[in-house]
Amino acid sequence: MRNPESTADPLPPSLLFLLAAAAGIMVANIYYNQPVLGLLAHEFGADGAEIGMVPVLTQVGYALGLLLLSPLGDRVERKRLILVTASALTVALTVAALAPSLSVLAAAGLGVGLLATVTQQVVPLAAQLAPEARRGRSVGTVMMGLLLGILLARTVSGFIAELAGWRAAFWGGVALTLVMTLALWARLPRVAPSVRLSYPRLMRSLLDLFLAHPVLRRGALVQALQFAAFSVFWSVLALKLQAPPLHLGSSVAGLFGVIGAAGALMAPLAGRLADRRGPRFLIVGGAAAVGLAFVPMALWPNSLTALVVGVLVMDVGAQAAMVSNQTRIYALDAAARSRLNTVYMTVMFTGGALGSALGAQAWAGWGWGGVCVLGGGLGLAAAAVEGLARGEIRRGGRKPA
């Protein structure tokens, strides 16, 4: 049951912003390794393909956590689930900070990814606590915190690593996660589980939802393709910047996170446009923007201006597509939003993990040109899957595929 003091307003502004901060801080942990890949390669004597396994396994862990842990939010008291998962995440981050070898770091990354899915307990909690009249706005606020965490994590990690080494970046994650866990322990209300399904039945219901909703299947595939393109870029950016002729450090790689944060600020606008024009309009346009963002980066491979333009276009497109996709998927079944989110996010982050793996291989085998061809192709494929599906673009979010 909820705390007595939350009866009048179960989601006051202070708690809402705490949830937004928690979403950002928890999800940031899976991105701290990306700007420091060059430093990791130097310390452990690994090549691009080997070092690329660190972000790959982190993304794989996140996908597994989405699939195996996120559905528990419907059947386990959510405050307890959040606190236990966040505490375990702190331990996994500590192992990463102390890692004596690349294999230990990669294994810790898998655990960090698995447990960072605590974020996907925070977002549904905001939706559950918010009064009906403020639900969309409240979820949007938490999602903005999540998106800012994803992008600014690279900036924070890059600067800390430049000043004090890559381990200091992970120790910063340990401190932030621990402080946030304590804050959540002090402020979160207790909310009773919404279903009493056994864990096997809960997991089987994911397949039922996937098979029952064509829009869910298509939306998940589109999001997986465009997030794969997004991950292709971010998984090798630090290696590109450190390579000749740029010779730039991890702090510069982190600065690109600040540039990309502009995309997170577009999330509320994307939601309003999705209501006005229909989600499919922004999904197609956003995915196409992700693909086309690689064009200037391919044509001018050693230009920082081209990289900045590409990042801006890519992040705005990625966030517009994601928010619009979520808008239509959450509308499919109000009683199963957590499990719809599980299916959608699991497929999405599986695409991200594959994108990171393919990006590392493209960099090792074909250099920056191969990375741009791969990322651009994936983004345009996402736009094609949505754009060529049956139904009008303008109001397609309300029609079956």
Q: Which residue has the higher pLDDT, 13 or 95?
A: 95
3-class DSSP state of 325: helix
User: What is the pLDDT, as a whole number, of residue 268?
Assistant: 62
pLDDT value of residue 83: 97
Instruction: Work out the average pLDDT over 54-77.
Output: 88
- Alpha-carbon span 310 to 87, nearest angstrom: 37
> How far apart are alpha carbons 261 and 343 in whole angstroms?
26
Say which range, 156-170, 325-339, 341-355, has the weakest mean pLDDT.
325-339
pLDDT tens track for 277-286: 777 888 999 9
Give the tens place of pLDDT for each residue, 109-140: 999 999 999 999 998 888 778 776 776 677 77
pLDDT higher than threshold 90 for residue 228: yes
Closest CA to 328 of 280, 277, 286: 280
Q: What's the pTM?
A: 0.76
Main-chain phi, psi angles of 396, to 5 degrees: -65, -20
At 115, list the tokens: 């447990």
Instruction: HSE, CB side, 13 Å, CA atoms: give it for residue 144.
Output: 17
What's the rounded Cα separation, in Å, for the pair 397 and 394?
8
pLDDT at 3 over 50: no
User: Looking at per-residue confidence, does 333 or 84 come out higher?
Assistant: 84
Q: What share of the chain is helix, strand, coil (3-state, %, to 5)?
A: 85, 0, 15
* pLDDT of res. 393: 46
pLDDT tier, 313 (very low <50, low <70, confident <90, very high otherwise): very high
If we measure between CA atoms, which residue out of 223, 166, 203 comes closest to residue 354? 223
Residue 396 has pLDDT above 50, yes or no: no
**Token pair belonging to 348:** 């999405």
Q: What is the pLDDT of residue 272?
A: 62
| pLDDT for the residue 189 | 92
Residue 317 scores a pLDDT above 60: yes
Residue 353 tokens read as 């993990």
Q: Are 379 and 310 in contact (CB under 8 A)?
A: no
Buried b (16+ CB within 10 A) or exposed e, 131-153: eeeeebebbbbbbbbbbbbbbbb
Q: In the structure encoding, which two tokens stand for residue 347, read together?
A: 């497929």
31 with 96: CB under 8 angstroms? Answer: no
Domain segments of the chain: what residues? Answer: 4-398
pLDDT bin (cut points 50, 70, 90) of residue 27 is: very high
The full DSSP string for 161-210 is HHHH-HHHHHHHHHHHHHHHHHHHHHHPPP---S----HHHHHHHHHHHH
DSSP 268-323: HHHHHHHHHH-HHHHHHHHHHHHHHTHHHHHHSTT-HHHHHHHHHHHHHHHHHHHH
For the four alpha carbons of 192, 194, 197 and 200, in that order, the dihedral sign comes to negative
Q: What is the pLDDT of residue 400?
A: 36
| Mean pLDDT, the chain, whole residue set | 86
- Greatest mean pLDDT among 46-60, 101-115, 139-153, 308-322: 101-115
Homologous superfamily, domain 4-398: MFS general substrate transporter like domains (1.20.1250.20)
pLDDT at 118: 95
